[in-house]
Amino acid sequence: SAQPVTIALSGAGGQIGYAALFRIAAGEICGPDTPVNLRLLEIPQGVGAAEGTALELADCAFPLLNSITIDTDPAVVFEGANLALLVGARPRTAGMERSDLLSANGGIFGPQGRALNDHAADDIRVVVVGNPANTNALIAQRNAPDIPTNRFTALTRLDHNRAVGLLAERSGASVSDISGVTVWGNHSLTQYPDLSHAIVNGVPALDAVDPAWARGEYIERVAKRGGEVIQVRGSSSAASAANAAIDHMHDWINGTGADWTSVSLPSDGSYGVPNGLISSFPVRSTGGSWTIVQGLTVDVFSRERIDASVTELLEEHDAVASLGLLPH
């Protein structure tokens, strides 16, 4: 078998952690030949839940699960880590201003970025799931000056998978007959699920479904899907978020194949998104690194939608910069 991979997950005692860890321990990120060392990060209140999950992981007798470490110190958890899934974050509570939310999360993702910088393996790859995911990822990245910037990503794969799933439902096609869907921008209500280049059963999506729906109700439905799940289920998306984080890491390492997917990563200026801003793009991987799909036409409608979401990201950037959370 291959060398073991060391996978760190923060927020391990939470609901996404619970939905993700069993699949990760079963080898769903790197595949059936790679043993897994799990490193679980929690705050003191969450350690008990993480320890309980570790008992259940042991009870699964996963052949690939080499070791489990639980700690509250990012320096310990990230030591030698190859992959990090940063799920734990400070949720917005009643009466909390946006600036309070951003600074509370800066207090988490700044130190975690520094600990990754100082302790992770040279090939570290990071996905931030905890919200506000794009800006938390930016904070971590800008506190880790020795790690190549393109190793920091934020999760927009759940939005992408929702966009594909809802298009399949509307068109009657199966998910495997859909390609070319993109989610642009921020993981927030301003995100833009874009069907301009999508194909359904060999036909352009905008011919396969009502284009007024695709550019109206559909966008809102995808963006508000998280709220719909809360309303119906009584708690927020967990298994689908865990699934998306695993898809993201799996495709980053193993490659995407013919179709592209959506990932928030530091912009190289493509499609007019300012350099360094962590925004969602259409991307492919051939195994190991993401490449932004180039040359897609962006019509006036799409331009406005992308710009609106990027404007929100710039506002979040400016807010955390003025709080001193982006030192590098």
Determine which residue in the list 7, 144, 195, 241 makes contact with ligand NAI, applying CB under 6 A: 241
CA–CA dist 314, 100 (Å, integer): 17
The structure tokens listed for 146 are 């020795």
Q: Which stretch binds ligand NAI (CB under 6 A): 39-47, 96-104, 195-203, 214-222?
A: 39-47
Residue 148 to residues 119, 171, 179, 185, 264, Cα–Cα distance (Å): 14, 41, 30, 22, 15
Determine, following the binding rule CB under 6 A, whether residue 323 of this chain makes contact with ligand NAI: no
Determine which residue in the list 7, 8, 9, 10 makes contact with ligand NAI, applying CB under 6 A: 10
Q: Which of helix, strand or coil describes residue 65?
A: strand
Catalytic residue of the set 119, 160, 187, 197: 187
Q: Residues 41 to 100: which contact ligand NAI by CB under 6 A?
A: 41-43, 45-46, 49, 87-89, 91
Q: Residues 101 to 160: which contact ligand NAI by CB under 6 A?
A: 108, 129-131, 133, 155, 158
Q: How far is the CB of 2 from ligand NAI (least distance, A)?
A: 28
Determine, following the binding rule CB under 6 A, whether residue 14 of this chain makes contact with ligand NAI: yes
Q: Which stretch binds ligand NAI (CB under 6 A): 10-18, 175-183, 195-203, 205-213?
A: 10-18
Q: Residues 17 to 36: which contact ligand NAI by CB under 6 A?
A: 17
How many chain residues bind ligand NAI (CB under 6 A)? 29
Q: Which of 162, 135, 99 is nearest to 266 (CA)?
A: 135
CA–CA dist 85, 250 (Å, integer): 12
Q: How far is the CB of 49 from ligand NAI (least distance, A)?
A: 6
- Structure-token match 């929702």, residue found: 162
Residue 133 to residues 86, 105, 110, 129, 308, Cα–Cα distance (Å): 9, 10, 13, 5, 17
With a CB cutoff of 8 Å and minimum separation 6, the contacts of 5 are 29, 30, 34, 35, 36, 37, 82, 83
Catalytic, 187? Answer yes
Strands 36-41 and 5-10: parallel
Determine, following the binding rule CB under 6 A, whether residue 199 of this chain makes contact with ligand NAI: no
CA 7 to chain CA centroid, Å, is 15
The structure tokens listed for 95 are 């009466």
The structure tokens listed for 161 are 């998978």
Sequential DSSP letters for 200-233: ETTEEHHHHS-HHHHTTHHHHHHHTHHHHHHHHH
Q: How far is the CB of 201 from ligand NAI (least distance, A)?
A: 28
Q: How far is the CB of 61 from ligand NAI (least distance, A)?
A: 25
Q: How far is the CB of 186 from ligand NAI (least distance, A)?
A: 10
- Tell me whether residue 15 or residue 171 sits nearer to ligand NAI (CB atom): 15
Q: How far is the CB of 130 from ligand NAI (least distance, A)?
A: 4
Q: Which residue is nearest to ligand NAI (CB)?
A: 14
Q: Where does this chain bind ligand NAI (CB under 6 A)?
A: 10-11, 13-17, 41-43, 45-46, 49, 87-89, 91, 108, 129-131, 133, 155, 158, 187, 236-238, 241
Catalogue the active-site residues: 187
